[in-house]
Chains A and B, each alone.
Chain A
């Protein structure tokens, strides 16, 4: 099916700025779903609040645009009661890891079969460029006019430590790789996290003199490297891309089915 069959065309052109990486994530996600041949009525998209969260409204699936940071909690209620549905939760970095950080680690710990896509632009786009828990030390933002003194999280390490059974990272420059990772994440049974490093040229780019979207993509190309590459040995500053965790553990909905079986047997 062509791309247009997966979107709600009447809302296009979308609201995102020129060159915003969130649009590329939308693009990649659609291609993956097309490749997987998933039925549109078997997919649920649950998002929070932020520029990134607007992605839900553009997709012609069951879509829920919820509260800032809470998408995974809503998604948990959906998934547990309709385990056969593919539940995908696209999130902003502030959404996922500031206000939603608690829900994020607990969804990971439960290993519930949900795919979380963290659209990490290292800034609060929607509210006008304040720093996020992913901005990191030395970054300029509207609430860090003298540069940020906050350290940042590493999304992949955090997700892995919290118990996610699939963890990967890619960027909006590496679209084919990103597509592969999202595809694996959707197919993975258990909680999967894909961090897509994304660009917000309007705020992050401008405030940090990273140039326009094209420059920001080049920057992601030049500052990242596949896991285990030799380049990392020479330049430890490089951010690794690839699959960090891919393991099997009891999935939450299946595990709860076992609880039901025991309870029904009167144990």
Chain B
């Protein structure tokens, strides 16, 4: 079984409106709000690539890029 691993977590700062939804509901607490009230990933290594944040974001501002890795 290939294990899912995060390659990149991109936040489109132009589109993010800082609602905090991704931050609150990420099961691993990967994201935070920065000083300009934009979401930023701060604990990428904890990400389990569940893609919940990506789908919850009302502004389509999150792009999860994963890499596939053989176990």
Contact = CB atoms under 8 A, between A and B. Distances in A.
Interface in A9-38: 12-14, 16-24, 26-28, 30-31
B58 A22 contact: yes
B60 A7 contact: yes
A187 interface: no
Interface size class of B (residues with CB under 8 A): 10 to 19
Contacts of B21: 19, 213-214, 217
Nearest to B23: A214
A175 B59 contact: no
Interface in A206-232: 212-214, 217
Contacts, number: 71
A77 interface: no
A217 B63 CA distance: 21
A187 B71 CA distance: 35
A258 B52 CA distance: 45
Contacts of B59: 12-14, 16, 23
Given A13-B15, A18-B19, A26-B60, A217 B25 contact: yes
Contact of B20 (A7, A14, A27, A212): A212
Contacts of A233: none
Contacts of B19: 18-19, 212-214
Interface of B: 14-15, 17-21, 24-25, 52, 54-60, 63
30 contacts: A3-B60, A12-B14, A12-B15, A12-B59, A12-B60, A16-B58, A16-B59, A18-B17, A19-B20, A19-B21, A20-B58, A23-B59, A24-B55, A26-B60, A27-B54, A27-B55, A27-B57, A28-B55, A30-B60, A31-B55, A172-B58, A173-B25, A173-B56, A212-B19, A212-B20, A213-B21, A213-B58, A214-B20, A214-B25, A217-B24
